[in-house]
Structure 1
Amino acid sequence: MAENYEDPAGSTQMFRAFVETPAAQAPSNVSVHRSGGGNSRTGLIAAGAVVALLVVVAVVWLAVK
């Protein structure tokens, strides 16, 4: 075997172990619902998509007019 040989079964076994393990329970002192971080970023991305869509619609409307 070559020195750089990686056993493909090793990564498969690790993946299966990851998939088959039950989901970890959140600690009782950590809230499941976030009040900031992830939600504000998702909202910002959604708002950006809406603004981009409105800009495209305005450009098409001006081109047709």
Structure 2
Amino acid sequence: MSDQHIDPAGNTQQFRAFAQGSEQEAAAPKRSAALPIIAVVLGVAIIAVVAYLLLA
């Protein structure tokens, strides 16, 4: 037989845990997707300059 009593404190505790988890995730720094792209473009540019200087 199921228990018909619902503990309102349990729901509050679950909500607080959820809210605190969301705050912690929001506070975590998010890594930019542009950083690897910039690194690749910079690397290609350096290689192009070095190749130009060696072949010129």
Q: Report if TM-score (shorter chain) is over 0.5.
A: no
Query: TM-score range, shorter-chain basis?
Result: 0.3 to 0.5
Q: TM-score, normalised by structure 2?
A: 0.44
Work out which structure has the larger RCO, using CA pairs closer than 8 Å and 6 or more positions apart in sequence: 1
User: Whose radius of gyration is greater, 1 or 2?
Assistant: 2
The structure with more helix, counted as a fraction of residues:
2
